[in-house]
């Protein structure tokens, strides 16, 4: 048996890791958090900070009706593919415990939750879907409350941190981001930040603060603020765990490489790392994509460490079909060697085609893009984003603002679609015919071929609310025409990973629990929902598992 006087060892200082550390510390356990990077927050800090939990108490206090039964109906409805990868017990444990976890973290002062306004479940056509209420995020928090740790927190380059979901849903994600960029980094004139927030458990006027934090950055900052109040928690940055120590038949500690050399610490281990985005071998194994078709917008510290560490002590690895893995169509960054993504692919005057010049999916909706592009026996790689000059003038792309000029060598442009196709390696004649059919229907706000414009979540979160008759449909008619080869970009949610049970305990290939080893981050396979995915599932499961694992390790198991 593990010694209760030993510290709990948390590997990874993202949202789930910080939550686990907090939950264990308030139950009188010492905690050491090992973070491989020099910044804390992980993939969660880069995200939109969406935490999906059905029948949650935050929606209830807003008067939104939901139930555990309705939540289960929805999850089952979207998880019907490959039923063998869905863990029924884990699914029910998450659905039934999630609302209690949300309440617990708020009561503990880790965060003040709010419902994201107007955001519908991904699969609005599915039984049990709701038009609003299941997506939570945090109230605005002033970064100043973190003191010296403010500079050690990751800040998302993909969301307009400092603005809120209220503004994003009103103006559209792309317009909100461009406006926040125009206000300038570090400035205090953060448009759309309401005059409320939470800091040290009290409300404050965020307009008086110089550093309002929102989206995933703000959610992590809120938990970090509360973690820093606990003397029992030590966070060791730039400490990459390289090995799990074992004692007889249990995991008994870790070995890590720190700035001053190797260190060893003994105690039960919680893997709170994210996934495998920056390890090309694991990418190839899990989603069968080569580097020319895959990149990542997650921090480069996501190298599959949790998966590799668990494998080293005999853990089972569960695989979710690549067609269900949350990945987004993206591109090589305009500068440097990184990657980017954004809602621009889903906005009017764009379409996605394969090398034959054909559309093949609802090209505003990443779920359908992934499923159709990677369909076994009918893959559509390489795939390309094509748009016209209306799109450039209205929206820009990545760091190029509306009306701006693309950097040399980054985008291919041509006076006709046929010429563009020839330059990109697409059948130009067929590309022209595809655009003609697309344009005919797009002008009416329709897509009878693939249903673009029928997904409420996409229309609200990714489209242009000012565009009529559809926020995601517009014809490609104005030269010059532009295009680039797309990549799938990971966001730190790989779906496949370490096999756990519903309480976060790591399992071996025979289904037995590996004593002393837990996993709460996205390194753990999403067998909880199988092939079903909805934005916010990963963080919703993460804070729920943190609640469960902290309870067990703190001697207060959750029934």
Model pLDDT for residues 441-481, shown as the tens digit of each residue: 999 999 999 999 999 989 988 899 999 999 999 999 999 99
Residues 6 or more apart whose Cβ sits within 8 Å of residue 29: 4, 7, 8, 232, 553, 554
Give the β-pairing of 250-258 and 487-490. unpaired
Residue 516, φ and ψ in degrees, nearest 5: 85, 5
Please report the pLDDT score of residue 172 as a whole number: 67
CA-nearest of 402, 382, 379 to 392 is: 402
What does the alpha-carbon distance between residue 304 and residue 247 come to, in Å, rounded to a whole number? 24
What is the 3-state secondary structure of 268-300?
Answer: CEEECCCCCCCCHHHHHHHHCCCHHHEEECCCC
β-bridge partners, 411: none
What does the alpha-carbon distance between residue 135 and residue 52 come to, in Å, rounded to a whole number? 5
Please report the pLDDT score of residue 5 as a whole number: 86
Alpha-carbon separation of residue 448 from 97, 164, 277, 343 (angstroms): 41, 34, 35, 22
Is-above-0.85 flag for pTM? yes
Residue tagged 């006076």 (tokens): 415
Over pLDDT 70: what percentage of the chain?
92
Q: Which two tokens stand for residue 389?
A: 């000059």
What does the alpha-carbon distance between residue 366 and residue 297 come to, in Å, rounded to a whole number? 15
Residues 6 or more apart whose Cβ sits within 8 Å of residue 352: 329, 345, 359, 360, 361, 363, 369, 383, 384, 385, 386, 486
**281 exposure class (CB count in 10 Å sphere: 0-12, 13-18, 19+):** exposed
Q: Which two tokens stand for residue 456?
A: 């409420």
Residues 6 or more apart whose Cβ sits within 8 Å of residue 103: 57
CA-nearest of 305, 142, 326 to 217 is: 142
Gyration radius of the chain over CA positions: 23
Contact between residue 217 and residue 45 where contact means Cβ atoms under 8 Å apart: yes
Cα first-last separation, the chain: 21
Please report the pLDDT score of residue 158 as a whole number: 83
Q: Which two tokens stand for residue 425?
A: 């390696």
What residue ranges of the chain have pLDDT lower than 50? 1, 182-208
Residue tagged 């935050």 (tokens): 58
- Report the run of H or E that residue 88 belongs to, with start and end: helix 88-107
> Of how many residues is the chain composed?
559
**314 exposure class (CB count in 10 Å sphere: 0-12, 13-18, 19+):** middle
What does the alpha-carbon distance between residue 395 and residue 402 come to, in Å, rounded to a whole number? 4
Contact between residue 404 and residue 346 where contact means Cβ atoms under 8 Å apart: no
What does the alpha-carbon distance between residue 255 and residue 218 come to, in Å, rounded to a whole number? 31
Over residues 139-163, the pLDDT tens digits come to 999 999 999 999 999 999 888 898 8
């Amino acid at each position: 048996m593990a010694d209760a006087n030993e510290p709990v060892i948390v590997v990874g200082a993202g949202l789930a890791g910080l939550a686990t550390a907090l939950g264990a510390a308030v139950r009188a356990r010492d905690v050491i958090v090992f973070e491989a990077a020099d910044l804390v927050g992980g993939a969660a800090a880069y995200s939109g900070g969406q935490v999906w939990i059905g029948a949650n108490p935050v929606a209830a206090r807003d008067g939104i009706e939901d139930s555990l039964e309705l939540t289960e109906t929805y999850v089952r409805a979207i998880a019907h593919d490959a039923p063998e990868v869905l863990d029924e017990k884990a699914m029910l444990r998450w659905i039934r415990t999630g609302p209690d976890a949300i309440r617990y973290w708020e009561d503990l002062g880790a965060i003040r939750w709010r419902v994201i306004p107007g955001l519908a479940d991904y699969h609005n056509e599915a039984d049990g879907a709701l038009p609003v209420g299941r997506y939570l995020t945090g109230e605005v928090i002033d970064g100043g409350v973190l003191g010296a740790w403010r500079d050690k927190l990751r800040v998302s380059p993909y969301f307009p941190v400092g603005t809120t979901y209220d503004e994003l849903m009103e103006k559209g994600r792309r317009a909100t981001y461009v406006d926040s960029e125009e206000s300038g980094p570090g400035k205090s004139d953060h448009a759309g930040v309401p005059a409320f927030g939470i800091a040290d458990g009290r409300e404050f006027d965020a307009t008086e603060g110089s550093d309002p934090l929102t989206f995933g950055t703000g959610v992590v900052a809120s938990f970090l603020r509360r973690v820093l109040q606990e003397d029992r928690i030590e966070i060791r940055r730039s400490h990459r765990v390289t090995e799990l120590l074992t004692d007889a038949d249990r995991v008994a500690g870790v070995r890590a490489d720190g700035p001053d050399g190797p260190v060893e610490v003994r105690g039960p281990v919680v893997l709170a790392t994210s996934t495998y985005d920056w390890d090309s071998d694991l990418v190839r194994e899990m989603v069968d994509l080569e580097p020319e078709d895959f990149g990542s917008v997650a921090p480069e510290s996501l190298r599959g460490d949790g998966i590799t560490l668990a494998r080293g002590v005999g853990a089972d690895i569960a695989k979710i079909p690549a067609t269900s893995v949350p990945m987004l169509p993206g591109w090589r960054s305009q500068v440097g060697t990184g990657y980017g993504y954004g809602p621009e692919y889903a906005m009017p005057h764009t379409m996605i085609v394969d090398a034959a010049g054909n559309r093949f999916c609802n090209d505003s909706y990443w779920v359908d893009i992934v499923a159709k592009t990677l369909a076994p026996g009918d893959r559509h790689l390489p795939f390309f984003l094509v748009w016209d000059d209306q799109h450039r003038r209205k929206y820009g792309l990545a760091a190029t603002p509306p009306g701006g000029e693309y950097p040399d060598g980054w985008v291919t442009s041509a006076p006709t679609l046929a010429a563009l196709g020839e330059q990109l390696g697409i059948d130009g004649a067929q590309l022209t015919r595809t655009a003609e059919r697309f344009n005919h229907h797009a002008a009416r706000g329709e897509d009878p071929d693939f249903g673009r414009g029928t997904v409420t979540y996409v229309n609200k979160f990714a489209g242009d609310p000012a565009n009529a008759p559809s926020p995601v449909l517009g014809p490609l008619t104005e030269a010059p025409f532009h295009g680039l080869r797309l990549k799938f970009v990971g966001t730190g949610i790989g779906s496949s990973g370490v096999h756990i049970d519903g309480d976060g305990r790591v399992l071996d290939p025979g289904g037995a629990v590996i004593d002393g080893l837990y996993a709460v981050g996205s390194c753990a396979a999403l067998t909880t929902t199988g092939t079903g995915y909805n934005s916010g599932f990963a963080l919703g499961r993460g804070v729920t598992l943190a609640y469960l694992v902290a309870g067990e390790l703190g001697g207060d198991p959750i029934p």
